[in-house]
Each structure stands twice: as C-alpha cells, then as structure tokens.
C-alpha cells in the first residue's frame, strides 16, 4: 500500500540521521560508522557508533547514551575500537571491544580538544593531538576571565573562540595502563599524527616558522621518534599540508596540499603529493588534473566542506586513492604512484563524502550523498575504473519515503561574455508549466566552493512551499579548474555578479517565472553577493542575507582570518583602502530599496556580527525595509550544525520573509 507523500517541512531537518565517515575493519569484514541525530526536546545532538558486516546483513547500533561518539579507529588486530566520547562538553578517549561490551574510558585529560587517535602498529599505544583549554574558574567554567591579554596576530578562530596560550601537541597513550607521554612541545601547533608501519616514528603537520601567524600556509611534515626525541622536518615544497599517510613499506608519505603559500584559500587546487624519506623532490601525483583532491561541495546537512578525507594507499603501495571534486560532483580517484594519468573510478550525479580501504583487495566503504538523499553507506569489492558502489543502508529511508521531493535539473547557460556557467533548477513537486511561480535564487559561500550533486534541505523546503529554486556555480567557484576559481581575485562583484544575473535571465526565458516575484539569498560570501546585488539592482522583491560580509575593510581587522585578505585582494587594506571600499557592499547601501532580512550569529568569528550591524544600522537610519535576526551563542555554522531549535527558527523566518514579499 502506497503512502501519500507530504511536503518537506522546516523541522524535518531534525528528523534526518546524519552519516559520518565509515571505517573498515583491518580484515575488511566489518564497517563502523558514526550516526548523528538531533534531540529536539533537549536542544542538542547525540552521535553513536554503528556496526554492519561488509557483505550482507543489517547495521546495528553499537554505542548508546547522551553522548557524541566520534573519530572511531580499529586496532590493528581488529579486536578493539578507540574513539572520542564527548559528554557535557568534555572529551576523553575510550576503548570498546569489537564483540561488544561496555566502553572503557582510557584517558584522564583535562578539558580540551582531542584530535582523532591512531593506533601504533603493535596495538599497544594511541597517538593523538591534544589542546588543553584553560578554564579561568573551575567552579564556573562559563565565566569569562577578568582580562584577556592578546599578543598574537591570530588570536581567535571560527568554531573555537579566543585562542588561549596553550598549543596543540602530539601525545601517546598506553592502551594497557593509560600512561600519557607528550612527544612535542614549544610554541607551535602540532596536529594530524600518523604512525609509521614499523612503529618507530610518528609523522605530523606543523607550521614551525618563527613568524607562523604571518606565514600561515607554510606548513611542513615532521617526524618524531615514537619514544620521544627531537622532531625532524621532511623536505617538501612550501605550502599548506594536511593528513599525512605512510606507504605500506614506510618509505614514503602521501599528503594533501599545494605549493603556493602566497595565494588565497581555494584559488589553488589541493592535490595529493608524495614525499620520500630517501630524499628528492616531493611529487604532485595530480599535476595534470586541474581539480581539487577534496570534497568542496556545500550542503546544510553537515558541517562546512573541506579536507577531512585523507589520501589512502593501496595494500601493495602502487596507488593512492583520493576524492576529487569535479563540476558539482565528488568522485573516487586512483592515482598511480609510479606515474600516469589519475583514474576516475566512479561517476554520476553524486557526492562521495568519505571512504576507507582495507584488505589486500582494497575493499572500500564509502559515504555517498545525492540530490535526493543526505547520505548512506556503500561498498566496493575491488575499486576499479567504471565501478558501481553498492548501496548498503537506507538510513533515512522511512523519512524520505514520506516526503515529496524535487529532483534538481542541471543545466548550463552563457554569462555576459559567453563563459559557460553550471546551474541547477529545482521545481515545486506539483509543478504546473501553465502557472507563474516566484523564484528564490540561492548563492553559495566561499566563494571558492561549489554547489553540487547533493541533498540540500533548505532548497527542498523552498520548493515544497511553491518556489522555483535556482542555484549556480559562478566564477570564483571550485570544481571547474584554477583559472575559473581565480577569475574574481581582486575583483569581487564584477564577473561573479554578471554570472549570477545571467542565470536569472536564463531562467526567466523559460516563461514560468513571475518576474515581479524574485527573491535572492545566500550565506557568507553568498551573503556578500546578496548584499551586492540589492545594492546594484532593484530586480528582486525580497532578499535574505545570512552570516554575510558587508565591509571588507573592517572585516580585515575583525575576522579570525581577516589579516589574510591581502591574498585575495592583492594588497593589505591600509595600503589601498579605496580598493577594499569599492568592493564592499556597504559602499552601495544608499542604493538598496529591496526589503532585506539580515540573519547573523553573535559568535561568528569568520564573518563577525559587526558586519551585519553596520548594514542594518545604515538601512534602518534611512528608513528602509529591513529586519535583523541575531542568534546568541551560535557561530558561522548555524545552518549546518547550530542548536537544533535555532536551525528550525532560522528556516521559519526565511520562509516568513519570502511569503510576505513574494
């Protein structure tokens, strides 16, 4: 018996189960994965570990409780699992037997931030990064200190807050007796440890430049003896680096990075590199592939995109496997270590979020999302070109079966200068081509990211309310090559604006859009472009700007990475204030006539709330139609990982505004 489907609702975002990175057991027979759920009543999230066989069988919940269990790691013999458990905002490392039983707390660390633990080859120790967070008053941990003394250029960070004097360092923890050993020290941040196959050394990432805050992208791979000693740098090109992984023979390290530390974030492709312990120049395995080796796709069903997936070696050391973002999709690639063309193993409209490998045949477990599903576990028996991952779960099957979803239509249009722009159109589920519909134009953040072949609850919600939803990848986006991503450097609001407005014109030509009912919205850089658009045209009847940028000059002094803006704009703000002003939407605020809803989080360190305050005050003083929603305690990630009730409230106000004006 078929069940009548219903429209997508705002609070459906709290009903989804969000998949983390699946991890294969060393023998490839079992898959472990984190699964997050929202606890709407208590206004928080829980995350538990689930287990399932690789070949056949159902997934079963493995850990329980009002906790966040994350970063699971199998012991080399497959008999134990280490993971990080966070309860009441305090994290510790736990162990649990693979065949079940109670999880045992292994670490006794002071409150702080723990980086995912990794096992020594003999299974006797765990290596991890750890940052102690100083608490000013142990009796009242939320009480601020009497004063904060700041001496660093980089003194705050999105998602963390003010940086205390402590640093991230590498530690080992004895599995037998819980003995803690600190391996690195000094005034540097050391992260992402990886144990060598012989168990003698640990590789990690660190920027040990004497003026690291002024050379933030000049990171290196360091090697430290597992028993303690002085770290030694592995010769590699200058540039950002992440997630080192040892070759099976222990003679090479694969890592993610690029060799252009002078450039702004996202304008250069992150590639997979190989560095040899025998010396010689590091090798870019993707030198001829003009695409990033990471998932840069934006969605609202998980935290922000970025380098979370490490490159993984084949069992025989002949290949390195990686994710590659390509024009809205994210696929699994295989890179020959001895040279040769990178090979795309998968294809189609999908986003591979994460993957793991195990066994001599390189069995793979993958997390895959698509435009109609936020993510499920898939498997591959032997990854090879043309392979088709096998779907193993339907984590949200029951909910999705109830919802009337809109399947996006991908299309391409020509911008003002003929440049081809990738776009998608989402129609209301009950679309009637004889009717005229309002349009909501969504603009992504970054700017160097991409919209793509993934599930986006906000878009589905708008379509369910009767809006046609347009979203595009204008110049500045990633996934279409470095030249495309770099096209707007030092010139925001020009080519990107032309690309976006050409997309609106292309959709209007289809004949089913009411030209008098156009809306525009976006977050972060998407908020910047929303502000820019309403300051340059009255074409839209309503706009919603979220966690936005309004004044590039003031943002350079208030954002957690604002001091890096010269990489994007060519000069420091004090060297050419006029350049920053001309590219700031606030400079055109006097021309704004479009009713504008401003949504911002009070603890946003990436785009500080002073950006929203300036625009609101300017418009309100001029008696324009403007409203300001401030979310206490929330950060830049409100729409993706904010408190559950606040995520729903944000969506309800978005709908209210467009209903009022469109």
Sheet strand arrangement including 252-257 = 241-246, 252-257, 271-276, 283-284
Q: What is the model's pLDDT at position 25?
A: 98
Q: What is the model's pLDDT at position 500?
A: 98
For 646, phi and psi rounded to 5 degrees?
-70, -30
State the DSSP string of 204-254: EEE---TTGGGSTT--EEEEEETT----EEEP--SS-EEEEEE-TTSSEEE
415 included as an active-site residue: no
524 included as an active-site residue: yes
534 to 193, 218, 370, 584, 592: CA distances (angstroms): 47, 39, 32, 13, 6
Tell me the domain boundaries of the chain: 17-99, 100-136+153-399, 400-661
State the catalytic residue, choosing from 131, 258, 600, 636.
Answer: 636
- Mean pLDDT (the chain, rounded): 95
State the catalytic residue, choosing from 524, 554, 559, 601.
Answer: 524
- CATH architecture of the region 400-661: 3-Layer(aba) Sandwich (3.40)
Q: What is the model's pLDDT at position 164?
A: 84
Can 100-136+153-399 and 400-661 be said to share one CATH topology?
A: no
List, for residues 98-121, the tens digit of each pLDDT value: 998 889 999 999 999 999 899 999
Q: How far is the C-alpha of 610 from the C-alpha of 614, rounded, in Å?
A: 6
Q: What is the model's pLDDT at position 442?
A: 98
Q: What is the DSSP letter of 511?
A: S
Residues 531/555, Cβ–Cβ less than 8 Å: no
Q: What is the model's pLDDT at position 101?
A: 85
State the DSSP string of 142-164: TSPPS------S--EETTTEE--
Q: What is the model's pLDDT at position 307?
A: 60
CATH code: domain 100-136+153-399 is 2.120.10.30
Q: What is the model's pLDDT at position 174?
A: 97
Ranges of the chain whose pLDDT falls below 50: 1, 135-138
């Amino acid at each position: 018996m078929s069940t009548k489907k219903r429209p997508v609702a705002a609070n459906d975002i709290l009903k989804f189960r969000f998949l983390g990175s699946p991890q294969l057991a060393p023998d490839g027979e079992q898959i472990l994965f984190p699964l997050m759920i929202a606890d709407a009543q208590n206004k928080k999230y829980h995350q538990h570990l689930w287990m399932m066989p690789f070949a056949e069988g159902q997934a079963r919940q493995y850990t329980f409780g009002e906790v966040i269990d994350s970063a699971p790691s199998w012991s080399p013999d497959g008999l134990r699992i280490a993971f990080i458990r966070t309860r009441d905002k305090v994290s510790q490392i736990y162990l649990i037997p693979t065949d079940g039983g109670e999880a045992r707390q292994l670490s006794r660390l002071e409150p702080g931030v723990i980086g995912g633990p990794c096992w020594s080859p003999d299974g006797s120790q765990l290596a991890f990064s750890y940052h102690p967070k100083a608490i000013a008053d142990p009796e009242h941990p939320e009480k601020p200190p009497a004063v904060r003394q700041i001496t660093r250029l980089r003194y705050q960070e999105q998602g963390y807050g003010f940086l205390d004097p402590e640093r991230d360092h590498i530690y080992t923890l004895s599995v037998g007796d819980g003995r803690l050993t600190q391996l690195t020290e000094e005034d540097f941040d050391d992260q992402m440890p990886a144990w060598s196959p012989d168990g003698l050394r640990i590789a990690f990432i660190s920027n040990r430049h004497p003026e690291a805050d002024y050379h933030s992208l000049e990171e290196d791979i360091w090697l430290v003896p597992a028993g303690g000693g002085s770290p030694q740098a592995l010769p590699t090109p200058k540039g950002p680096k992440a997630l080192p992984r040892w070759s099976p023979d222990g003679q090479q390290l694969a890592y993610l990075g690029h060799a252009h530390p002078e450039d702004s974030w996202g304008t250069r492709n992150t590639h997979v590199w190989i560095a040899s312990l025998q010396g010689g120049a590091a090798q870019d395995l993707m030198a001829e592939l003009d695409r990033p080796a990471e998932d840069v796709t934006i969605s609202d069903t998980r935290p922000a995109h970025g380098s979370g997936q490490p490159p993984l070696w084949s069992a025989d050391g002949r290949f390195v496997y990686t994710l590659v973002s390509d024009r809205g999709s994210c696929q699994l690639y295989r890179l020959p270590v001895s040279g040769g063309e990178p090979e795309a193993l998968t294809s189609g409209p999908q986003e591979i979020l994460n993957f793991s490998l195990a066994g001599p045949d390189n069995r793979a477990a993958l997390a895959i999302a698509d435009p109609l599903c936020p993510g499920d576990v898939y498997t591959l028996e032997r990854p090879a070109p043309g392979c088709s991952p096998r779907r193993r779960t339907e984590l949200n099957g029951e909910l999705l079966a109830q919802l009337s979803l809109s399947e996006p239509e991908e299309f391409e249009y020509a911008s003002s200068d003929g440049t081809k722009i990738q776009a998608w159109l989402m129609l209301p589920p009950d679309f009637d081509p004889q009717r005229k519909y309002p349009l909501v134009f969504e603009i992504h953040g970054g700017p160097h990211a991409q919209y793509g072949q993934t599930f986006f609850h906000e878009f589905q919600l708008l379509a369910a309310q009767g809006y046609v939803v347009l979203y595009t990848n204008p110049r500045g986006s990633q996934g279409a090559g470095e030249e495309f991503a770099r096209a707007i450097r030092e010139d925001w609001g020009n080519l990107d604006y032309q690309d976006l407005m050409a997309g609106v014109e292309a959709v209007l030509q289809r004949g089913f859009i009411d030209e008098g009912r156009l809306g525009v919205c976006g977050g972060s850089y998407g908020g910047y472009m929303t502000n820019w658009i309403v300051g340059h045209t009255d074409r839209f009847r309503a706009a919603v700007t979220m966690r936005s940028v309004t004044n590039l000059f003031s943002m350079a002094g208030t954002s957690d990475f604002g001091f890096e803006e010269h990489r994007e704009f060519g000069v420091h703000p004090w060297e050419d204030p006029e350049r920053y002003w001309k590219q700031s939407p606030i400079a055109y605020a006097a021309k704004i006539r479009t009713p504008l809803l401003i949504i911002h989080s009070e603890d946003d360190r990436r785009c500080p709330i002073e950006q929203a305050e300036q625009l609101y005050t300017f418009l309100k003083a001029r008696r324009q139609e403007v409203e300001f929603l401030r979310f206490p305690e929330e950060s830049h990630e409100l729409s993706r990982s904010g408190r559950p009730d606040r995520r729903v409230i944000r969506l309800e106000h978005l709908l209210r505004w467009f209903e009022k004006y469109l």
